[in-house]
Amino acid sequence: MAMIRVAYQGERGAFSERAAKRLAGDAIETIACPTFDAMFDSVLQNESDCCVAPIENSLAGSIHRNYDLMLESGLSIAGETNLRIVHNLIAPPDVELHHVRDVYSHPVALAQCTRFLDANRTMKASAVHDTAGAVRMIMEEQRCDAAAIASDDAAAIYGARILARGIEDNAQNFTRFLLLKSGERELPLPAATSRWKTSLVFRIENKPGALFRALGVFAMFEIDLTKIESRPIEGKPWEYAFYLDLAGRAGDAKIARAISNLAELAETVKVLGSYPSKW
């Protein structure tokens, strides 16, 4: 059986690569991509079998670009995981904490470690494209006064040393990742859990009560909505598409009936996938 090729945004050691292995297993080929757009294109061009996209962080909120790319690409959701994000201060092996003057990482990671940086005012924070990429950079440049904020995977991959562990402001820092594939393509994924979700997107007329009536079909069938997200519709100012996550499978009788009822009220309804949710 051919090894699954999984694309992700970032470099080796990125949190997305860890999420890819949790979702698709360790026996996969991971393909690093510089941007989210390139990651989706990798699947559409058949350079990868699927991709892992961060869609929401418990502190920073939704990653809006990936909501838009998911709809534009037509990729379907095949799995979900929630990854605990632990930020570590990482430096070359001979660098001590008091040597560090420059700290590099992704802007979101830096923003999630403000208390540590405020307590170490001799350190200057600088944003780069990727957490793991920051570790690779300081190792390649053999910096004796620099560190990076990244995962322990990145430290191990690039031969760096962790100077301080768990420096994030809030320990309840999780990122939700989606495994996305093309069409009806079957992937030999690890056994699914018993916890399933269904995601869909719909559009309704811009008139009073339309959203209330649309959401009411799920209340009528006592379906648990786990998230609702609105995104602007391109070319239609002040009109929105609504993304819903709900507990259960689209094939379940009451969910299928609710979606059918929604279709009678909405302009468009698209099921983005029914998939196992894995912690």
Provide the percentage of residues in the chain whose pLDDT is more than 70: 97
- For residues 40 and 20, what is the distance between their CA atoms, to the nearest angstrom? 14
Domain-embedded: residue 190? no
Provide the percentage of residues in the chain whose pLDDT is more than 90: 86
Among residues 175, 198, 202, 221, the one annotated as catalytic is 175
**Is 35 a known active-site residue?**
no
Do 150 and 16 fall into the same domain?
A: no
**Is 177 a known active-site residue?**
yes
Number of domains composing the chain: 3
- 166: alpha, beta or left, given left = phi > 0 and alpha = psi -120 to 50? left
- For residues 177 and 175, what is the distance between their CA atoms, to the nearest angstrom? 6
In the predicted structure, residue 184 carries a pLDDT above the cut 80: no
Written as six digits, the tokens of 257 are 């009936």
Domain-embedded: residue 188? no
The pLDDT, as a whole number, for residue 49 is 94
Do 55 and 153 fall into the same domain?
A: no
Domain-embedded: residue 187? no
The pLDDT, as a whole number, for residue 176 is 96
Do 177 and 49 fall into the same domain?
A: yes
Do 80 and 123 fall into the same domain?
A: no
- For residues 21 and 109, what is the distance between their CA atoms, to the nearest angstrom? 21
Give the pTM. 0.91
Among residues 15, 40, 177, 202, the one annotated as catalytic is 177
Written as six digits, the tokens of 152 are 């322990």
- Considering 148, 181, 214, which residue would you say is the last residue of a domain? 181
Do 152 and 264 fall into the same domain?
A: no
Do 111 and 232 fall into the same domain?
A: no
CB atoms under 10 Å from CB of 95, counted, come to 20
Do 60 and 112 fall into the same domain?
A: no
The pLDDT, as a whole number, for residue 228 is 95
In the predicted structure, residue 194 carries a pLDDT above the cut 90: no
- Considering 151, 181, 211, which residue would you say is the last residue of a domain? 181
* Exposed / middle / buried, residue 182 (Cβ in 10 Å: 0-12, 13-18, 19+): middle
Domain-embedded: residue 235? yes
Comparing 28-42, 171-185, 188-202, the range with the smallest average pLDDT is 188-202
Do 73 and 177 fall into the same domain?
A: yes
- CATH number at 18 reads 3.40.190.10
The per-residue pLDDT for range 214-248, each reduced to its tens digit, is 999 999 999 999 999 999 988 888 889 999 999 99
Do 225 and 94 fall into the same domain?
A: no
Do 78 and 100 fall into the same domain?
A: no
- CATH number at 237 reads 3.30.70.260
Name the residue range of residue 39's domain: 4-84+173-181
Do 149 and 212 fall into the same domain?
A: no
b (16+ CB within 10 A) / e for 44-70: eeeebbbbbbbbbbeebebbeebbebb
In the predicted structure, residue 60 carries a pLDDT above the cut 90: no
Written as six digits, the tokens of 260 are 């059918």
The pLDDT, as a whole number, for residue 192 is 64
Do 75 and 177 fall into the same domain?
A: yes
- Considering 181, 211, 243, which residue would you say is the last residue of a domain? 181
The per-residue pLDDT for range 67-97, each reduced to its tens digit, is 999 999 999 999 999 999 999 999 999 999 9
Domain-embedded: residue 186? no
According to DSSP, the β-strands at 4-9 and 50-57 are parallel
